[in-house]
Amino acid sequence: MTMILALISVAIPSALVAYAVYWRHSQSKRRAADWDSIVARLRSNSEFNFDEVAERYLYSDGIRATPKDIWTRIDGANGLWAMYTNAGVLMQLADYAAEHGQDVPEELIEELRSDALQIRSAVIMALVKYGFSRSGVAASVNAHRAATAYSGMLAHITTLFQEHSALYFPRFLEAM
């Protein structure tokens, strides 16, 4: 029994230290990333038909698809996962623009963080519902929420680049 307690008392702190080192390394790697390496991880919106679902998604937020048909229009779980991944990449682009742009309001960055969190939460919920029921209908409401939040995030990040990082704006549009 004492052997198990001794093992646990060594294993838990060791695991925490290992995770702290990993986290610190990934954060420094993330901060050192340049524009092209970040954009290379971005999945094109046309790849999962998001341009068919949203109205002028870069400049305004609005979804043309209903919750009933959004699942099929975004290619189901594939489109949801693309939104999930792009939310993180878009947040990293926003951080990059904040570091290299001019007078980026903290409120806009926080709004983008909130958008990314909403997207990721809605995607996880939709995928869980789809996984348990194997029905796109059960997941479609959360898929619609994810698409709405994703559209909002694209509009907010477009504003960020247009108004505070004009040098990167054309490159951002090209990447989308």
What was the pLDDT predicted at 51? Answer: 80
Strand-pair partners of 52: none
Which helix (H) or strand (E) covers residue 115, if one does? Answer: helix 106-133
Least reliable range by pLDDT among 81-85, 96-100, 125-129:
96-100
**Tokens found for residue 39:** 């954009």
Q: What is the pLDDT of residue 59?
A: 67
Handedness of CA 114, 95, 78, 64 (dihedral sign): positive
**pLDDT band at 81; cut points 50, 70, 90:** very high
CB half-sphere exposure, 98, CA atoms < 13 A: 16
Closest CA to 87 of 126, 45, 129: 45
Tell me what pLDDT residue 162 has. 85
Domain ranges (residues) in the chain: 1-32, 34-175
pLDDT digits 0-9 by tens, 21-79: 777 766 666 666 888 888 889 888 888 888 888 876 666 677 878 888 888 888 888 99
Give pTM, 2 decimals.
Answer: 0.79
**pLDDT score, position 8:** 79
pLDDT tens digits for range 109-148: 889 999 999 999 999 999 998 888 877 677 888 899 999 9
